[in-house]
Structure 1
Amino acid sequence: MPILDLEKLVDDTRSTTPRLLHKSTLRTTLTLLPSAVLAQDPLIAPELLISEIPLTNASLKTVLQGRRDAIEIIMGKSDRLLVMCGPCSLHDPVTALEYCGRLKALADKLSDDICIIMRAYLEKPRTTVGWKGLINDPDIDESYKINKGLRISRQLFCDLTALGMPIASEMLDTISPQFLADLISLGAIGARTTESQLHRELASGLSFPVGFKNGTDGSLTVAIDAIGSAAAKHHFMGVTKTGLAAITKTSGNEHGFVILRGGTKGTNFDAESVKTVKETLTKKGQKQAIMIDCSHETGNSNKDHRNQPKVAKVVGDQVRAGEKSIIGLMIESHINEGNQKVPAEGPSGLKKGVSITDACINWETTVETLEDLAEAVRERRKTLNGHS
């Protein structure tokens, strides 16, 4: 391998005079330049995975109906509440399907008053480090078999929607939606990424409603600005279904809404906070569509999952009183209460139906909470009719 004077090479590249490098010199230079990238493995093309695990007619019907229902509620054409309910994150497909079966039966029972969409999060944003989700590490052993994770995730989404349950997921990166977006009825952009231009551009091209959370400090401006940005047309670099880099052109997504999740400065699910948000949305020229996140360690649940029903009760009381700007809630729920760490023996030692990320309320509490919200909607109808 020839010895290169890298300092001279850098100086040469800064010159205003064009200088062509011989191919062998360029290869040698690129080899010698420092890189933090250890390896790059092939990623399956979205088109291939979709062909391998296709959307069935049953799933398509579920997805489209879920999108229509969500849009009607967000746009004020339906007085039902939109409730995104499910585990903090999915790590076990078998348990996820069992939970889905329970939720589907409850959703059918309460369908006149609330529209339930199952929370089906596959990726987990981390403040520092930790398990990043079913796509990133499906075996929960730091083997990071992402192609396997994508296959498992798509099959799970197909199975969930085939049961008649529409699903919601977080848009954490700009590539995975190419593999999964055709199965999603409702999306969310987290507090850490609401301000990201990439995620606002992504949302502008999605075919389902997207909620934007307020900032981690509780600031509302970033979420409202994101709604406006996502509603506009964008041109940006993206990836096609064949896996090729491309210039993506979007028409905009008019079905954005605010998600209040609290922040480091306190909670924001009370009536006064909701009033402030309504006024701000109106000033910014946005529709009054507000979803309340009942959870979040640094937000509304104040680091205790058992506070979620209390938050839902306060929100339900506002609904009972006739508040129309509250269009829905987010609830972290599982079969069993709490959460757990992955034991030394690995996934085989995990308890069934218990979250391995944020703590959740159990199924019994979930039923009580959702039934109370359905009752709140019925009371709101009476309240508003009485004032008509």
Structure 2
Amino acid sequence: MSMTINKELPNPAALKAEFPVPEHIKEIKAARDKEIAAVFRGESDKFLVIVGPCSADNEESVCEYTRRLARVNEQVKDRLILIPRIYTNKPRTTGEGYKGMLHQPDPDKAPDLLGGIIAIRKMHMRAIEETGLTCADEMLYPENRSYLDDLLSYEAIGARSVENQQHRLTASSMDIPAGMKNPTSGDLAVMMNSIKAAQSAHNFIYRGCDVTTTGNPLAHAILRGGVDKYGTTIPNYHYEDLKRLASLYEESGLENPACVVDVNHSNSGKKFKEQIRIVSEVLHSRSYDPAIHKLVKGVMIESYLFEGAQKICPEMIHGKSITDPCLGWEDTEKLLYSIAEKA
């Protein structure tokens, strides 16, 4: 094979034993998981806001961002559940470019997967320790989630992964909400099939073992817009799109019908400031129609300390995205308080 084995990585159990989760963090996670699950089961009317950088590239700036979120959370926790986006894997359309902290704990240096696995575990643990907020990550590599599964309260399956069998089957093993994005084509049938697969029980090979899962009743839709064959973005956050999704759920017989609207990516055409307007429209649709109010459980926002994006270079601004452009903190804070008033 045209492959070189650089080193053997520790299995998840060994890494967890080396970097164990303290009891008080286990208790925080259990309470947060219960609170978030209640939203997806329709037992709580709190609104979810999954918010944070496109890619978590630096522990210090990510934790500073999360501390700021925690301060806002104290003011809005009776209406909202804030879930920090700490995305440690970055999908790349062509396979080129920065692939996230898992690959490169230091974006300026060569890939170091062992260092990356340790770095992302420490960062997620530190974020909970300092803020009491358990976080979201993207399941880009199904077998790698086992290094973080005792820390996360939400996982997203990306637009390029949602048709993949291993992603779907692994999502069926989760005991936390799994958000299944519509694919880049925008095809909602693909997304609905992925939710059905994730909610069903399966038998398959996982990390060299023969495993059986019970299914994940908290698997749900994430609308992120699509792109047609000419490369034109097609948003799917409008009222008519949400009504269509509600109808598809009604026909499907799936458990816990739910949707999170990703207000960036193809919904905004990656025009990051548009996220503010799109959130407002989603909340208006939700307040106008009881079926949409029941269906739309939250929004997903890309935001960091400083707005926009920058190239990887020797003198980077900490807290400014090195992947997709994000809202800055000032706009984010205003938006969060606005969501709390309208949700």
The TM-score with structure 1 as length reference comes to: 0.83
Show the counterpart of 2:102.
135
Residue 190 in structure 1 maps to residue 158 in structure 2: yes
Q: Give the 3-state SS of the residue equivalent to 2:309 in structure 1.
A: coil
- Mapped partners of 1:281, 1:192: distance in 2: 22
Q: Deviations over 1:68-94 (max 9, x none)?
A: 122111111111111101111111101
Does residue 1:318 correspond to 2:281, yes or no? no
* Match status 1:96 vs 2:62: yes
1:220 aligned partner, one-letter code:
L
Q: Are 2:126 and 1:156 equivalent residues in the alignment?
A: no
**Residue of 298, 305, 326 corresponding to 1:328:** 298
What residue number does 2:221 align with?
A: 258
Quote the Cα distance in structure 2 between the aligned partners of 1:352 and 1:139. Answer: 12
The structural deviation recorded for 1:178 is: 1.1
Q: Does 1:52 align with 2:18?
A: yes
Q: Which residue of 1 aligns with 2:257?
A: 288
Helix, strand or coil: the match of 1:48? helix
Q: How does 1:68-87 map to 2 (within 5 A)?
A: 68-87=34-53
For the 8 Å contact 1:134–1:149, the answer to whether it is kept is yes
**1-side partners of 2:257 and 2:200: how far apart?**
18
Distance 1:63 1:226 in 2: 26
Between structure 1 and structure 2, the one with the greater Rg is 1
The DSSP-based 3-state class of the residue aligned with 1:175 is helix
Letter in 2 for 1:305: F
Alpha-carbon contact 1:319-1:376 (below 8 Å) kept: no
Deviation at 1:165, TM superposition (A): 0.9
Describe the superposition over 1:291-326 as per-residue Cα deviations: whole angstroms up to 9, x where unpaired.
Answer: 100111xx1011211111011010111223242211
Q: Segments of 4+ in structure 1 off by > 2 A?
A: 319-324
Contact 1:58 1:161 in 2 (8 A): no
Is contact 2:98-2:107 (8 Å) kept?
A: yes
For 1:20, the equivalent position in structure 2 comes to: none
Residue 303 of structure 1 corresponds to which residue in structure 2?
Answer: 270
Is the counterpart of residue 224 in structure 1 residue 187 in structure 2? Answer: no
Deviation of 1:41 after TM superposition, in Å, equals 1.6
Equivalent position amino acid for 2:69 in 1: L
Aligned partner letter, 1:246 = C
Q: Residue 285 of structure 1: CA displacement? A: 1.2
Which residue of 144, 147, 171 corresponds with 1:176?
Answer: 144
Query: Equivalents in 1 of 2:194, 2:330: separation in Å?
Result: 36
Q: Percent identity?
A: 33
Letter matched to residue 135 of structure 1: L
Q: Is the 8 A contact 2:260 2:298 kept in 1?
A: yes
The 8 Å contact of residues 67 and 208 in structure 1, kept in 2 or not, is answered as: yes
- Offset, 1:288: 2.9
Report the Cα distance in structure 1 between the residues aligned to 2:270 and 2:155, rounded to whole angstroms: 24
* Contact 2:225 2:267 survives alignment (8 Å): yes
Q: Number of matched residues?
A: 332
| CA distance, structure 1, for counterparts of residue 300 and residue 69 of structure 2 | 14
CA RMSD of aligned residues (A): 1.2
Once the 2 structures are TM-superposed, how far is the Cα of residue 142 of structure 1 from its aligned partner? 5.3
The residue type equivalent to 1:312 in the other structure is V
Paired residue type of 1:260: L
Instruction: Report the equivalent of 1:214.
Output: 182
- 2: CA distance between counterparts of 1:66 and 1:87? 21
Deviation at 1:350, TM superposition (A): 0.9
Whether the aligned pair in 2 keeps the contact of 1:56 and 1:158 (CA below 8 Å) is no
- Given the two structures, how large is their TM-score scaled by the length of structure 2? 0.94
Question: CA–CA distance in 2 between the matches of 1:304 and 1:62?
Answer: 35
Structure 2 counterpart of 1:199, one-letter code:
H
Whole-Å separation in 2 of the counterparts to 1:223 and 1:173: 18
